[in-house]
Amino acid sequence: MKLVGVLCVLAGWAVAVAGLFLSSANAVRLLIACAGIGISLYGSLGLLNGYFLERAIWKR
Amino acid sequence: METITHREDGMRSQQKITRLLLFALGVAGVLGAASPLRAEQIQGADAVLSGVPSPKSDDIAAKGDPGAEQTGTINDVTVADSKKGLTLADVANQAGQNKIAINFVWTLVAGFLVMFMQAGFALVETGLIRAKNANHTMMMNFMVYGLGLFAYWVCGFAIQMGGAAPIANLGGVYPLNHEFVTNLFGKPWGLFGTKGFFLHGATYDVGVMVLFLFQMVFMDTTTTIVTGSCAERWKYSAFAVSTIFLGALTYPLFGNWAWGGGWLSQLGANFGLGHGYCDFAGSGVVHAVGGLTAMAVAMQLGPRIGKYNRDGRPNVIPGHDLTYVLLGCFILAFGWFGFNPGSTLGASGNGCLRIGSIAVNTMLAGCTGSFAALLYMWIRYGKPDASMAGNGLLAGLVAITAPSGFVNTLSACIIGWVAGILVCLGVEFFDRVAKIDDPVGAMSVHGLNGLWGVLSVGLFADGRSNYGGSWNGVSGSVTGLFYGDAGQLTAQLIGIATLVGGIFALSFVFNWLVDVVVGQRVSAKVELAGLDIPEMGALCYPDFQLKASDYGAASSGGVSVAASAKH
């Protein structure tokens, strides 16, 4: 799960950067960048943090 | 009558000197840094300035110069050839050197102020943790200076600034002239610098040294952010390895992309996105990198024993010295006057006189941040919380760091105000929703508000700044969405995506490896006893009696020691 989380974080970055090549319209690039940020945050705060919360010390 | 004539002569002489100096300054301005080679090209440069009157040393020797009218005159201009006497080229060279000297001194003094911020961070973080871990936390803050500096000298600086030349304010720093660039879909992407490892060879250069010192203390700020979030449970050995990696690779890499001529800074030139990613003094480069690294490590470390009950409700673990915290905040606010205004890398030429505006913006954002946080806590919890007022001040300062050089005072107040609210919301979010334990609130102060600072450039930059007519190779002034350039906002968002995606992932993976090889967290036994004796071998306060409850939050935290020991 940790690896999936890291890949998701990286995928968000890749999406944001790919937007530069996918369109020359600023509005589209802006939206793609926002989507990329969202994906990365899901990867870090959702997947990765979820993994650690499941094994949290206070749950034992 | 004689006195009047003498005075008129004196005035005429002064006018002559003034005209000559103005001419020389004009020549120096046109030529940039006046090198001897260029000075030779000045028409009549070898003209001897024998007619310029100068104060007599005998007069000064006899009467002194209490009014400072005869100190710092044409006599003080360095003459290259004493046989020939003072020439126009000498005056032009002196004017150029004076400009660079002003910039060197300004940048160095600003760097010294930033270095002193380490003391502020040490006090804030130590004050916010329990007394039983004070030595450990203080020593982490102390050693980021040594460890970080070493890593940065070995390779960090070269990776970050190895291709940054020319930087006109520091005389060019021409030895830093090589960036590793790859081509992607027909566009050049600067990835890292390759000059300046160990500061050897041609980088043994006065301008490079000034730049190194200034950039090094910035890197040091980044490394010290992490120690706060991970306090009270981080193995000292793991901290050391993690800090070296941050100073040697993570920070310099993003620093290169933003400040060293790398691909983010070229988003304007290559893709028409405003002036590319703009981060005047480092909300992103310094604070967001530090805050996100802190999040990556704190997440892996897990919360302190006693921080959460079995049902997941958080407990407050108060720090041991609020005086430390608030004194540290004041020291940091003082140091920030080096951080932001110093990032002009000069006080003379190329729009550097904007340092006054930058300093005022810094002051305003810090104050509004503190006020907003204080008000938020007062309304929500019924008391004006001291530690959050301090964090609000820091949040405002963090947020204004990127836009400080591009915005007006009203925008600075808004940015600071939003930062003050954001830091309170951030602390609540990480504490209650994400359940990532952060004893000092660094993820909210530096991570969240670092990102807000980066974003605010894309919103509030007013297009009135002018640092030599261009920024990141794009002519004109940096302008945000509210002043008509939506492209700048997109560039900032791509910077944020790089931070929350690339930089977070890099930090996470490296610290994952550290966890596997060294182990990140101390044992439960060590944690409950306090890290000072087991990790450092000495208590911070050996003559103080600690209360029994100081030796473990187990009784109040609801986690049994036996359960914790399994960790």
Domain check: are B33 and B160 in the same one?
Answer: no
**Is B444 a member of any domain?**
yes
CATH of the domain at B509: 1.10.3430.10
The rounded percent of chain A whose pLDDT value lies above 70 is 100
Return d(Cα B293, Cα B464) in angstroms, integer: 34
For residue range B293-341, list pLDDT tens digits in order.
Answer: 999 999 999 999 999 999 899 999 999 999 999 999 999 999 999 999 9
Does B101 reside within a domain? no
Is B340 an interface residue toward A (CB < 8 Å)?
no
**Shared-domain flag, residues B92 and B125:** no
List CB contacts (< 8 A) between B494 and chain A: 16-17, 19-20, 29, 33
Q: What is the mean pLDDT of residues B252-266?
A: 96
Q: What is the pLDDT of residues B261-284, one digit of tens each?
A: 999 999 999 999 999 999 999 999
Q: Which of B187, B295, B504 to mutate to test the interface with A (most CBs of A within 10 A)?
A: B504
CA-derived radius of gyration, chain B: 27
pLDDT value for B31: 44
Check pLDDT > 50 for residue B4: no
Q: Which two tokens stand for residue B334?
A: 């003082």
Q: Using a CB-CB distance cutoff of 8 angstroms, which residues of chain A are in contact with residue B489?
A: 30
**CB of B490 less than 8 A from some CB of A:** yes
Among B1-15, B35-49, B146-160, name the one with the lowest average pLDDT: B1-15
- For residues B139 and B176, membership in a common domain is answered with yes
> Do B493 and A30 make contact, defined as CB atoms within 8 angstroms?
yes
Are B498 and A17 a contacting pair at CB < 8 A? yes
Residue B448 belongs to some domain of the structure: yes
Nearest-CA distance from B301 to chain A in Å? 9
* A residues 30-59 closer than 8 Å to B (CB): 30, 33-34, 36-37, 39-41, 44-45, 48-49, 52-53, 55-59
- Which residues from chain A sit within 8 angstroms of residue B434, using beta carbons? 45, 49
CB within 8 Å of B550: residues ≥ 6 apart:
B130, B131, B132, B530
The stretch B106-125 carries a mean pLDDT of 97
Is residue B369 domain-shared with residue B443, that is, in the same domain? yes
Q: What is the count of structural domains for chain B?
A: 2
Q: Range of B48's domain?
A: 2-64+74-96
Put simply, the answer to whether B271 touches A20 (Cβ < 8 Å) is: yes
From B96-105, B492-501, B552-561, the region with the lowest mean pLDDT: B552-561
Q: What is the pLDDT of residue B171?
A: 92
pTM of the model: 0.88
Residues of A in contact with B296 (CB under 8 A): 44
Distance from CA of A47 to the nearest CA of B (A): 11
B392/A7 Cα distance (integer angstroms) = 34
Q: Give me the residues paired with residue B180 across strands.
A: B192
Same domain, B151 and B78: no
- Assess whether pLDDT exceeds 50 at residue B562: no
Does residue B35 carry a pLDDT above 80?
no
> With an 8 Å Cβ cutoff, is A3 touching chain B?
no
Whether residue B555 lies inside any domain: the answer is: no
HSE-up of residue B94 (Cα within 13 Å, Cβ side): 20
Higher pLDDT, B567 or B241: B241
Could you tell me what percent of chain A has a pLDDT over 90? 87
Q: What pLDDT score does B560 carry? A: 33
Q: Is residue B372 part of a domain?
A: yes
Assess whether B128 and B237 both reside in one domain. Answer: yes
- State residue B38's pLDDT score: 52
Quote helix, strand, coil % in chain B, to nearest 5.
Answer: 65, 5, 30
B334-373 pLDDT per residue, tens:
999 999 999 999 999 888 999 999 999 999 999 999 999 9
A18 touches chain B (CB under 8 A): no
Nearest chain A residue (CA) to B304: A57
CB-CB contact of B292 with B444 (8 Å): no
Across the range B452-461, mean pLDDT stands at 98
Name every chain A residue with its beta carbon within 8 A of the beta carbon of B558. Answer: 58
Nearest CA in chain A to B559: A58
pLDDT in tens, B181-231: 999 888 999 999 999 999 999 999 999 999 999 999 999 999 999 999 999
Say if strands B474-475 and B470-471 run parallel, antiparallel, or are unpaired: antiparallel
List, for residues B164-195, the tens digit of each pLDDT value.
988 999 999 999 999 999 998 889 999 999 99
To the nearest whole angstrom, how far is the Cα of B492 from the nearest Cα of chain A? 10
Mean pLDDT score of chain B, rounded to an integer? Answer: 88
Is B563 contained in some domain? Answer: no
Residue B564 · residue A57 · CB < 8 Å: yes
Q: Would you call A4 an interface residue with chain B, using a CB distance cutoff of 8 Å?
A: no
CB-CB under 8 Å, A36 with B497: yes
Predicted ipTM? 0.97
Residue B152 lies in a domain: yes
Could you say which of B185, B558, B564 has the minimum Cβ distance to residue A21? B185
Share of chain B above pLDDT 90, in %: 75
Alpha-carbon gap, residue A56 to B97, rounded angstroms: 60
Report yes or no: B310 at the A interface, CB cutoff 8 Å. yes
Asked whether the predicted pLDDT for residue B387 surpasses 90, the reply is: yes
Last residue of a domain, one of B524, B543, B562: B524
First to last CA, chain B: 96
* B60 plus B16 within the same structural domain: yes
The stretch B459-465 carries a mean pLDDT of 94
Residue B356 covered by a domain:
yes
pLDDT in tens, A12-39: 999 999 999 999 999 999 999 999 999 9
CA atoms of B52 and B245, how far apart (whole Å): 59
Contacts of A54 in chain B (CB under 8 A): none
B131, B87: one domain:
no
pLDDT digits 0-9 by tens, B37-90: 454 555 666 777 767 777 778 888 888 888 888 888 888 888 988 888 888 899
Cβ B278 vs Cβ B488: under 8 Å: yes
Taking an 8 Å cut-off on Cβ atoms, the answer to whether A40 and B564 are in contact is no
> Are A14 and B307 a contacting pair at CB < 8 A?
no
Beta bridge partners of B470: B475
**Same domain flag for B42 and B161:** no
Same domain for B275 and B181: yes
Q: Are residues B402 and B266 in the same domain?
A: yes
Same domain, B226 and B292: yes
Residues in A closer than 8 angstroms to B527, CB to CB, are: none
Chain A residues with CB inside 8 Å of B312's CB? 58
CB within 8 Å: A48 and B502: no
